[in-house]
Amino acid sequence: MALPPDLHMHTPLCRHARGEPVDYARRAVELGFTEIGFSDHSPMRQNDFDDWRMRFDQLDEYVENVRKAQSAFPQLTIRLALEVDYLPGQEEWIRELAARHPWDYFIGSVHYVSDTWAVDNPHQLSEWKSRDAWEVWSVYFDRLTMAAETGLFEIIGHADLPKKFGHKPTRDCAPLYERFLNAAKKMNCALDVNTAGLRKDCKEIYPSRQILERAFKKEVPITFGSDAHAPEEVGMNFAEAMKLARGVGYRECTRFVRRRREMIRI
């Protein structure tokens, strides 16, 4: 079976990935991919916001590095994208970024549930000790819903990221999922079926089967992403991700060309 595009991968400019875009592209060709997309962590307006993204003055270099991979592997379609952090109030900045290059898509991701705490940051793991899991998940899904509602993103990244280290509320999260998925459907956002979770403590694809089942019922489209931070992670566990997606009923996934959606059979 043909592999769907791997639309979520990083580059060393974000300071926690290794291998240049040409190395990811080479790996993708070896695995039989016909399409991939780079979506490195976008810069913030303030370069010292945190230490796990490119600086704003590296944005052009990022685009050049992706272009180099495109020239080196003409048989592979390589999309140009960003994984953009959504925090309330960042909308104007995100519009400025969008205007700077001919992007194929933006993945909107929530990592921050406050101005300073990214729930998936292993260096901030101790924060979880002083927080109630339900409260974190509620704030996270509020922000994810807001991200979808902005209309700034084609894809919403790893929708249940707070499960990364295994922190799950005992309360039923269905109302949080429901609100978020309604916003995603209304604004035409696809869900990133992201295999990185399988490589983390939670040992689960993002998002969970429960979320994907609800998404399928509402006809929310999906994309696939390895969230590769190293060339050998390209396309990792895609067989499992496709099995999950097909298992809940999906027969199509999505790709984006200059921010326009196209459907592909899976």
Would you tell me which residues interact with Zn ion (CB under 5 A)? 109, 157
Residues 37, 261: Cα–Cα separation, whole Å = 14
Measured CA to CA in angstroms, residue 155 lies from 15, 23, 127, 162, 224 at distances of: 23, 24, 28, 18, 10
Rounded to a whole number of angstroms, the minimum distance from the CB of residue 223 to Zn ion is 14
> Which CB sits closer to Zn ion, 3 or 155?
155
Q: Which residue of this chain has its Cβ atom nearest to Zn ion in the complex?
A: 109
The answer to whether 223 and 193 are in contact (CB under 8 A) is yes
Beta strands in 158-237 (DSSP E): 190-194, 222-225
| Closer to Zn ion by Cβ: residue 109 or 254 | 109
CB of 225 to Zn ion, least distance (A): 9
- Closest CB to Zn ion among residues 144, 176: 144
What is the CA 204 to chain-centroid distance, rounded?
15
- Please state the closest distance from residue 161 (CB atom) to Zn ion, in A: 7
Nearest approach, Cβ of 172 to Zn ion (angstroms)?
25
Which one, 12 or 72, has the nearer CB to Zn ion?
12
207 cis-preceded (ω within 30 degrees of 0): yes
Q: In what order do the strands lie in the sheet with 77-85?
A: 35-41, 77-85, 105-109, 155-156, 190-194, 222-225
Which pairing describes strands 155-156 and 190-194: parallel, antiparallel, or unpaired? parallel
Least CB distance to Zn ion at residue 10 (A): 5
CB of 83 to Zn ion, least distance (A): 5
Rounded to whole angstroms, the Cα distance separating 96 from 156 reads 19
Closer to Zn ion by Cβ: residue 11 or 109: 109
CB of 18 or CB of 209, closer to Zn ion = 18
